[in-house]
């Protein structure tokens, strides 16, 4: 069940749900608008010729109040807002319609697990034929919160827990990568 503005306000006031900082204008009928931070990561293609799920990806960090994303390019960013989800609430990250109509696709893998604490890293892709200029503190996406049918047995404690900045892919830390590395070392 999607959580309404009235319930979101109650959950935030009680401390069950944390979204900080938060303004009244951020709370929408069925979501909370979130703003763009000032830290971005671009894949450093001068350091790599391919991207592998088994090896750490090299990124170039950019800290700016304004950034232009070239046409058909990808960048990671983060929200200004820090969130803490209880064990019975999950969140979807959705782009704002006004931003999508500019040709900017926004993801965070689409999902925030119950128990997550931190700022959410956003995956931004410019599908337009022109560069898109993004500005710090502009509302860029929205969190849609949902109740689960019961508390999670194992709330999120994964490799992105507690992130306070833009964080690149850590897929190389997945168990499949560790297993392959161990198998390769035995040969």
**Reduced 3-state DSSP string for the chain:** CECCHHHHHHHHHHCCCEEECCCHHHEECCEEEEEECCEEEEECCCCCCCCCCCCCCCEEEEECCEEEECCCCEEEEEEEEEEECCCCEEEEEEECHHHHCCCEEEECCCEECCCCEEEEEEEEEECCCCCEEEECCCEEEEEEEEECCCCCCCCCCCCCCCCCCCCCCCHHHCHHHHHHHHHHHHC
Catalytic residue among 42, 56, 84, 123: 123
Q: Catalytic: 47?
A: no
- Which residues are identified as catalytic? 123
């Amino acid at each position: 069940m999607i959580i309404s503005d009235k319930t979101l306000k109650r959950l935030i006031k009680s401390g069950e749900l944390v979204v900080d900082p938060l303004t009244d204008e951020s709370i929408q009928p069925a979501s909370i608008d979130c703003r763009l931070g000032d830290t971005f990561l671009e894949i450093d293609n001068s350091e790599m010729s391919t991207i592998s799920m088994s090896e750490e990806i090299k990124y170039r960090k950019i800290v700016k109040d304004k950034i232009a994303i070239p046409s058909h390019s990808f960048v990671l960013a983060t929200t200004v807002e820090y969130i803490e989800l209880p064990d019975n609430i999950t969140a979807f990250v959705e782009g704002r319609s006004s931003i999508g109509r500019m040709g900017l696709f926004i993801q965070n893998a689409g999902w925030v697990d119950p128990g997550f604490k931190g700022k959410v890293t956003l995956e931004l892709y410019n599908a337009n034929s022109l560069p898109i200029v993004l500005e710090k503190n502009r509302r860029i996406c929205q969190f849609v919160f949902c109740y689960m049918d019961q508390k999670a047995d194992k709330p999120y404690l994964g490799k992105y827990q507690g992130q306070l900045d833009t964080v690149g892919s850590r897929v190389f830390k997945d168990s499949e990568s560790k297993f392959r590395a161990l198998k390769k070392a035995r040969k």
